[in-house]
Amino acid sequence: MRKLRSLLALTLAAPFAAWAGPVNINTADAATLAKELKGIGLARAQAIVAYREQHGPFNINTADAATLAKELKGIGLARAQAIVAYREQHGPFKSADELTLVKGIGQKVVDENRANIRVDTDRAAPQAAKSESPGS
Q: DSSP assignment of 16-57, as one string?
A: HHT------TTT--HHHHHHHSTT--HHHHHHHHHHHHHHSS
Rg (CA), the chain: 22
| Number of independent structural domains in the chain | 2
pLDDT-based confidence at 54, cuts 50/70/90?
low
pLDDT at residue 52, as a whole number = 74
Do 71 and 52 fall within a single domain?
A: no
Q: Is the pLDDT assigned to residue 17 strictly greater than 70? A: no
Question: What pLDDT is recorded for position 23?
Answer: 82
Cα 78 to Cα 43: distance, rounded to the nearest angstrom: 42
**134 falls within a domain:** no
Residue 31, in any domain of the structure: yes
The answer as to whether 4 is a domain residue is no
> At 30, which helix (H) or strand (E)?
helix 30-36
SS3 59: strand
Quickly state the pLDDT bin for 14 (edges 50, 70, 90): very low
Same domain for 113 and 88: yes
* Distance linking the first and last C-alpha atoms of the chain: 88
- Name the more confident of 69 and 129: 69
- Of the residues 56, 73, 95, the one at which a domain ends: 56
Flag whether the pTM goes above 0.75: no
On whether both 89 and 113 belong to a single domain, the answer is: yes
Can you give the residue range of the structural domain that contains 39? Answer: 26-56
Q: Tell me, yes or no, whether 36 and 81 share the same domain.
A: no
